[in-house]
Amino acid sequence: MSPDVIIKGQSFKGDPSIVGDSNALGFRWRPGSTKNSILIEDCIIDANGAAEGLKFSYVHDVIVKRCTIIGGYEDCVDIVRGGDIFFEECVFIANKTKHHFTIKCDVSNVEIKNCIFRNNFNRWWDGACVDLGNWGSYNTEFMPTTRDIKITDCTLENISWWKKILTRRIYAENPEVINTDGYNLKIPSFFVKLFWGLRRWQTQ
């Protein structure tokens, strides 16, 4: 069955003049609207100074293949809620980027296969190639953990040894990592609970 939305061989650039959450290419779904499956192939997606290159918010059934995604000051790819998302043969290029990937707020079943994470993310003490289960605005109420994340046959290029943090797990289950180098860092649950409590207090 053909995807509902097909994007092939196109280039996208973000607008750095937009203040706040901005991206070069983004998709979102909200209850009551039509759900669409998505295929993105052979595209160049450049944040160009915006927050993110590619953004998915509450979407499902997505395939991204052979794309080059250049990060903004936040991420190359940002996934908030949703799931059943598959990346294959993509290149994620950090450009003073906080993380190559952020996956948070009740996301499940994401696979990153045969992809390249290129260039150092911005700060070793607050970054990772794949950041799992970080705080998001939806966490003011209870949500399930980020889960069923799989990273297979991926490569880290031009990344300093002290920044080879493949995954950082906060409010998330352990990812499945196959044939991919890099450290898998778990933030202790005590600090997560403390941080969650502080953030919820701040947003009251």
Tens-digit pLDDT profile for residues 86-129: 999 999 999 999 999 999 988 999 999 999 999 999 888 788 99
Contact 119, 95 (CB under 8 A): yes
pTM for this predicted structure: 0.92
Distance CA 196, CA 192 (A): 6
pLDDT for 141 beyond 80: no
Non-local (6+) Cβ contacts of 169 within 8 A are: 132, 133, 175, 184, 185, 186, 187
Distance CA 30, CA 116 (A): 31
pLDDT in tens, 32-64: 888 899 999 999 999 999 999 999 999 999 999
* Mean predicted lDDT score pLDDT of the chain: 90
